[in-house]
Amino acid sequence: MNLRKTVRNILIAIGAVGILIQFIQPVRDNPQIDPAMTIQTQMQVPAEIASLLDRGCKDCHSNATVWPFYSYVAPASWLVSYDVMEGRKHLNFSEWGKYKERKKVQKLSGIYQAVTDKTMPMPKYIPLHPEADFTDAERAALSAWAQKEGERMMGGEAEGVETTE
């Protein structure tokens, strides 16, 4: 068999697989949001912090995900769906009211840590969503808010929420 025919057959096979995998679509749902259960209703969230949460966190950590075009194209769709599913499992701002108080303090500690360590928003998310890339000042404001809210919930020094002193 000549090389040209082999390459053509390989390209046809790759194309066929590419088309077939489009039929394997993941779940891309946005469960109903009860406004009484959201973090904005349950906590003291200043407008600038709400804006940061909306800009950098809501797509993976709420039931208000905006599904971009590539979330409908396999195999990217599988990765996006998985990331959203995992994000919601770890922290869901739309279901904040369902968490027990201790869990809320742990989540605030996690926000503080992830924003301070720059592990959130996830570095792989930033290239396609540059608006989610927080400045150092925005990270400091979000971290300070999470720490303050954790401390407020604990009636002073929040257990598990790092202090900046």
Task: Give 44-99 pLDDT, tens digit per residue.
Answer: 899 999 999 999 999 999 999 999 999 999 999 999 999 999 999 999 999 999 99
The reply to whether 6 falls in a domain is no
* Maximal C-alpha separation, the chain: 77
Q: Is residue 162's pLDDT more than 60?
A: no
The reply to whether 8 falls in a domain is no
What percent of the chain shows pLDDT beyond 70? 93
The reply to whether 102 falls in a domain is yes
The reply to whether 18 falls in a domain is no
The boundaries of the domain holding residue 69 are 28-154
The reply to whether 11 falls in a domain is no
Whole-number Å distance between alpha carbons of 30 and 111:
22
Prediction pTM value: 0.83
* Distances in whole angstroms, Cα of residue 15 to Cα of each of 18, 22, 26, 39, 69: 5, 11, 20, 45, 20
pLDDT digits (tens, 9 = 90+) for 102-133: 999 999 999 999 999 999 999 999 999 999 99
Confidence of residue 160 (pLDDT cuts 50, 70, 90): very low
Query: Which H, E and C letters describe the chain, residue by residue?
Result: CCHHHHHHHHHHHHHHHHHHHHHCCCCCCCCCCCHHHCHHHHCCCCHHHHHHHHHHCHHHHCCCCCCCHHHHCCCHHHHHHHHHHHHHHHCCHHHHHHCCHHHHHHHHHHHHHHHHCCCCCCCCCHHHCHHHCCCHHHHHHHHHHHHHHHHHHHCCCCCCCCCCC
The reply to whether 3 falls in a domain is no
Count CB-CB contacts under 10 A for residue 38: 21
Confidence of residue 159 (pLDDT cuts 50, 70, 90): very low
Per the structure block, which two tokens stand in for 55? 């800009």
pLDDT digits (tens, 9 = 90+) for 128-150: 999 999 999 999 999 999 999 99
pLDDT of residue 62: 97
Whole-number Å distance between alpha carbons of 83 and 125:
10
The reply to whether 21 falls in a domain is no
pLDDT of residue 164: 43
Q: Average pLDDT of the chain?
A: 90
Q: How many domains does the chain have?
A: 1
The reply to whether 17 falls in a domain is no
Whole-number Å distance between alpha carbons of 108 and 78:
29
Whole-number Å distance between alpha carbons of 123 and 131:
12
